[in-house]
Amino acid sequence: DIVLTQSPATLSVTPGESVSLSCRASQGISTSIHWYQQKSNESPRLLIKFASQSISGIPSRFSGSGSGTDFTLSINRVESEDFSVYYCQQSYSLPRTFGAGTKLELK
Amino acid sequence: EVQLQESGPGLVKPSQSLSLTCSVTGYSITSNYWGWIRKFPGNKMEWMGYISYSGSTSYNPSLKSRISITRDTSKNQFFLQLNSVTTEDTATYYCARSHGGYPYYFDYWGQGVMVTVSS
């Protein structure tokens, strides 16, 4: 199975800061990575597909980059509604796997 | 609008079977792929498996022979059965749709149903 390692586990920021969340794959997976946001007591919401492709309806402050084994989700100027947990998921091979998540919290 | 809704018992006894239903509205399950994903206490997410538009299935090997995903196209529902559950199967279970003709990522999710395995 492909292991996805997300870092940091928790990121404490103040609104207005820009942040980068990391997802590292245990082997090369091209751009087969997708990012989700999950707020407390809600279902996950797709933010970015195939490493950098935007999703309709998602604010433009969310962007993704990377290929191979290293991927980044960037949030430009964090807003209060962004405090939640972020997951990466790979679609390079079966079984699909998720990272353990990065919790973005208010400092 | 595509909507998914999970239903099923919130409490299951150890060694019994867990059975959940995902009811889909706004889109036919005879298109795309439809999956089950669970989130354990502590936030770990696990892909359990999917059923395709044609009815073919794929499962996470970690679940070995305990899992079965089936469907009823007349009701636009698909189902999860997990046998011989233990307390380690306590989780929130989500059904989700994979976008397009291959199960790359999940673009629509149900709200989730919390299942506790306990005697």
Two tokens, residue A32: 């087969």
Phi, psi of A8 (to 5 degrees): -75, 175
Task: Specify the pLDDT at position A91.
Answer: 97
Cα A27 from Cα B62, distance rounded (Å): 20
Which residue among B46, B60, B109 places its CB closest to the CB of A44? B109
Q: For A45-79, what is each residue's pLDDT tens digit?
A: 999 999 999 999 999 999 999 999 999 999 999 99
Residue found under tokens 């962004």: A82
Contacts of A95 in chain B (CB under 8 A): 47, 60-62
Residue B64 has pLDDT above 90, yes or no: no
Residue B100 has pLDDT above 90, yes or no: no
Of all residues in chain B, the one with the smallest CA distance to A43 is B111
- pLDDT class of B99 with cuts at 50, 70, 90: confident
Task: Specify the pLDDT at position B83.
Answer: 98
Task: Specify the pLDDT at position B101.
Answer: 82
Residue A15 has pLDDT above 80, yes or no: yes
Cα B30 from Cα B36, distance rounded (Å): 16
Cα B105 from Cα B119, distance rounded (Å): 36
Q: For A18-53, what is each residue's pLDDT tens digit?
A: 999 999 999 999 999 999 999 999 999 999 999 999
Which residue out of B98, B99, B106, B114 would a mutagenesis test of the A interface target, given it has the greatest number of A Cβ atoms within 10 Å? B106
Interchain CB distance below 8 Å, A46 and B107: yes
Contacts of A91 in chain B (CB under 8 A): 103-105
> What's the gap in Å between the CA of A1 and the closest CA on chain B?
10
Interchain CB distance below 8 Å, B94 and A44: yes
Which residue out of B4, B36, B45 would a mutagenesis test of the A interface target, given it has the greatest number of A Cβ atoms within 10 Å? B45
Read off the pLDDT of each residue in B74-82 and give the average, rounded to a whole number.
Answer: 98
Residue found under tokens 């046998």: B83
Strand partners, A104: A11
3-state helix, strand, coil in chain B (%, to 5): 5, 50, 45
Q: Which residue has the higher pLDDT, B80 or B65?
A: B80
Task: Specify the pLDDT at position B44.
Answer: 95
- pLDDT class of B102 with cuts at 50, 70, 90: confident
Residue B5 has pLDDT above 80, yes or no: yes
Q: Which residue has the higher pLDDT, B101 or A16?
A: A16
- Residue B39's Cβ-side half-sphere holds a number of Cα atoms within 13 Å equal to 23
